[in-house]
Amino acid sequence: MNTVPQWGTLQEGSGRSGTQWLGTPSQIEWAEKIRLQVSAEFDRVAETLEAVARRQSGHDRLDTRAMIAILEEKRLDVLRRNEAGYFIKNWQELTDQVQKLIRDDSRFSAIRLAKAARTKTPPSQVEALTDPSPA
């Protein structure tokens, strides 16, 4: 009897991280490596935002802290996923996925719009601040 799952056959299994993964053993191994890189990318973006917040004051600092809160929420959403295929498909090649998660959040747009209103940014520039599409 063949007990080794074939590629594409889902099974539940615990990986080294203690996560109950869904996927084949090789997918799970691959996803765990990717997940570590994704976590490190979230750390990198958080550290960058923290460095910016330390140099800011007033509303700008509050806005940056709000972005960090959004980032941490997105981190939890992503890292709690247990489908190996999700990490392989969506995170194998790290580009700007973390930044895009933040930019696509409606709260981020609200932060940008509020800042534009505070700084009296012309309407033509407000759209550029809130447009989630890449420049």
The pLDDT tens digits of the residues spanning 118-135 come to 888 765 665 555 555 544
Q: Where are the domains of the chain?
A: 13-119
Q: How far apart are CA 135 and CA 133, in angstroms?
A: 6
| pLDDT, average across residues 53-80 | 96
Q: How far apart are CA 29 and CA 31, in angstroms?
A: 6
Q: How far apart are CA 103 and CA 114, in angstroms?
A: 15
pTM of the predicted model as reported, rounded to 2 decimal places: 0.78
| Positions of E strands within 9-103 | 12-14, 20-22
Q: Which residues does 133 contact at the CB level (< 8 Å), separation at least 6? A: none
User: Running DSSP on this structure, what letter comes out for residue 52?
Assistant: H
What is the pLDDT, as a whole number, of residue 99? 95
**pLDDT tens-digit profile of 22-53?**
999 999 999 999 999 999 999 999 999 999 99
Q: Higher confidence at residue 4 or residue 48?
A: 48
Rounded to a whole number of angstroms, the CA Rg of the chain reads 19
SS3 (DSSP) at 16: coil
Q: How far apart are CA 70 and CA 78, in angstroms?
A: 12
